[in-house]
Amino acid sequence: MKILVTGGMGFIGSHLVTRLLQEGHQVICLDNGYTGRRLNIQIHLDNPAFQLILQDVVDPLPAALEHSGIQQIYHLACPASPPHYQADPIRTIRTSVWGTYNLLQLAQKTGARFLLASTSEVYGDPLVHPQPEDYWGHVNPIGPRACYDESKRLAETLAFDWQRQHSIEIRVARIFNTYGPAMREDDGRVVSNFIVQALRGDPLTVYGDGSQTRSFCYVSDLVEGLVQLMKGSHTGPINLGNPNEFTILELAQQVLALTGSASVIAHHPLPEDDPKQRQPDIRKARTLLAWEPRVPLHEGLQLTIPYFRQRLGLG
Ligand SMILES: NC(=O)c1ccc[n+]([C@@H]2O[C@H](COP(=O)([O-])OP(=O)(O)OC[C@H]3O[C@@H](n4cnc5c(N)ncnc54)[C@H](O)[C@@H]3O)[C@@H](O)[C@H]2O)c1
């Protein structure tokens, strides 16, 4: 198959590109390099089955894509970590909404199946725990996270309306906290922050008392979920994430133990609108996709720590 992956130079996108190439597909990666890195797809640059288009999803897409014979579009292009999406909130909204608009238009013209990488952030600071897909969320529409949360919600709306109006095939994945190699050192999300701080011997930044919980999905599990969702007949939205819940303090302790770091834990005030709990209800993914995460946290951390060690030039 010929498959377009937007955001393919990013953390999740680059793992997806590798997986699709390994399955024998031809992959076009479209990315503007905003948060992604060439390094993540460097190994594929000489592969004739791989093509890189450096371009912003907000700009008109190359006309050649309409005649390229693409059968699937994985639409991942969007900054995903709070420091990156909050650095230029209006740009984030344009990317998420206008980019999705452009890619849906391409899906309509090509007849390709379209998968949107949405997010658990559509649930905001949830009042229902764990979060099932039919929970409509508790989102502050004007806070500092809204540029991401609300624009992903609108991207979902666009996808469903496009399906209703133009009968295209859509898939919507609500991705929960994912981690693994290929994340940026300055990504700003908790797993990469803790590993980088522990490896550098810096204090681990814990917001609040660290009793807030999160669930962490290893990237290979997540990519498997995306591929199964794209292949299957269920439109979604469908939660993809690891339901095992840990407090932030537990995560910090695991990272300290696995890195052998002597770093201390430093408590800082909670950021605005920081969700207190986040845990996916993955019953739908289990039943409809026969999918569930396989990699436990300590194993995923063991696979991720050497990557960061190398990135930081520590071995
Ligand atoms: N990683 C997670 O835990 C997580 C959780 C929920 C949802 N998601 C979603 O998954 C997708 C990928 O996330 P990630 O963690 O790999 O993030 P990432 O920042 O590593 O990757 C995003 C990629 O999109 C590219 N991009 C950004 N804006 C663009 C634009 N305007 N035009 C073209 N390319 C652009 C970036 O350069 C980057 O390569 C995102 O849509 C994100 O919202 C990720």
Domain with residue 199: its CATH number is 3.90.25.10
Query: Is any atom of ligand 1 closer than 6 Å to the C-beta of 180?
Result: no
Q: Do both 65 and 186 map to the same domain?
A: no
Residue 240 near residue 76, CB atoms below 8 Å = no
Distance (angstroms) between ligand 1 centre and the Cα of 117 equals: 8
Q: What number does the ligand 1 atom closest to the CA of 12 have? A: 16
Residue 105 lies in a domain: yes
The 10s digit of each residue's pLDDT in 145-199 is: 999 999 999 999 999 999 999 999 999 999 999 999 999 999 989 999 999 999 9
Q: Do both 132 and 196 map to the same domain?
A: no
Residue 282 lies in a domain: no
Q: Do both 157 and 14 map to the same domain?
A: yes
Query: Is any atom of ligand 1 closer than 6 Å to the C-beta of 13?
Result: yes
Q: Do both 78 and 200 map to the same domain?
A: no
Q: Do both 44 and 95 map to the same domain?
A: yes
Q: Do both 125 and 173 map to the same domain?
A: yes
Residue 289 lies in a domain: no
The 10s digit of each residue's pLDDT in 62-96 is: 999 999 999 999 999 999 999 999 999 999 999 99
Q: Which of 12, 192, 307 has the most ligand 1 atoms within 8 A of CB, as the residue to mutate?
A: 12
H helix intervals, 135-200: 146-166, 190-200
| Residues catalogued as catalytic | 148
Q: Which two tokens stand for residue 71?
A: 């059968």
Residue 151 lies in a domain: yes
Domain residues for the domain of 235 are 2-178+217-240
The 10s digit of each residue's pLDDT in 98-147 is: 999 999 999 999 999 999 999 999 999 889 999 999 999 999 999 999 99
Query: Is any atom of ligand 1 closer than 6 Å to the C-beta of 10?
Result: yes
Residue 286 lies in a domain: no
Q: Would you say the C-alpha torsion 307, 277, 157, 86 has a positive or negative sign? A: negative
Is pLDDT of 313 > 80? yes
Say what the pLDDT of residue 278 is: 79
Query: Is any atom of ligand 1 closer than 6 Å to the C-beta of 122?
Result: no
Kindly report the number of other CB atoms within 10 A of residue 259's CB atom: 20
Residue 285 lies in a domain: no
Atom 11 of ligand 1, residue of closest alpha carbon: 76
Domain count, the chain: 2
Q: Which two tokens stand for residue 98?
A: 């206008």
Distances (CA, A) of 139 to 7, 94, 124, 155, 194: 25, 19, 4, 15, 27
